[in-house]
Amino acid sequence: MAKYVIQSKKGAPPRGAYSQGWRAGDFIFVTGTGPIDPSTGQLVGDDIEQQTEKTIDNVATVLEADGASLGDVVKVTVHLSDTSLFARYNTVYARRFSRPYPVRTTVGSDLGHTPGMLIEIDCIAYAVRKANKRAAPRAKKGKARR
């Protein structure tokens, strides 16, 4: 099974020791991302609707970097700074994802690591890798791959 990292300059840059995404076989794992502008690194949006739009845009960018889309997403985890925002975020989410919707867990979380951030989303997508897509990086001689 091929396994490799996915990075996109069009997506929100990592703010810590993590990758934007990984492909493992036919599954793509997208890290938790928020409403961060990739060009400035700054928070985008003053309300949950704007922040949900930008966050989903950032998730989509990582998926698209490896030939997938929001339509390939099978599992989503959403962290809200305030669960009373659920109905408003859900309106945007329902418009951006298609039926049948991915399975989803939405929880309340402390998102204080980025002041003003109201939402963070991570996901898992299932997208069969095309034969012409890049090959997984090869391990260097003498070093074992894990």
- H-helix segments, 85-128: 86-96
Q: What is the DSSP letter of 84?
A: G
Residue type, 137: P
Query: What pLDDT does residue 133 have?
Result: 52
Rounded CA separation 85/108 (Å): 10
Helix (H) or strand (E) run with residue 58 in it: helix 48-64
Query: What is the average per-residue pLDDT within 62-90?
Result: 97
- What pLDDT, in 10s, does the model give residues 100-129? 999 999 999 999 889 999 999 999 999 998
Helices (H), the chain: 48-64, 86-96
Torsion of CA 76, 8, 11, 133, to 10 degrees: -40
Please give the residue that has the higher pLDDT: either 78 or 138.
78
DSSP-based helix, strand, coil % in the chain, nearest 5: 25, 25, 50
pLDDT of the residue at 130 = 75
Is pLDDT larger for residue 116 or for residue 137? 116
Question: Which phi and psi (to 5°) does residue 128 adopt?
Answer: -60, 130
Alpha-carbon span 4 to 29, nearest angstrom: 11
- Using CA atoms, how far apart are residues 81 and 108, in angstroms rounded to an integer? 6
Of the candidates 25, 36, 8, 19, which has an alpha carbon nearest to the alpha carbon of residue 136? 25
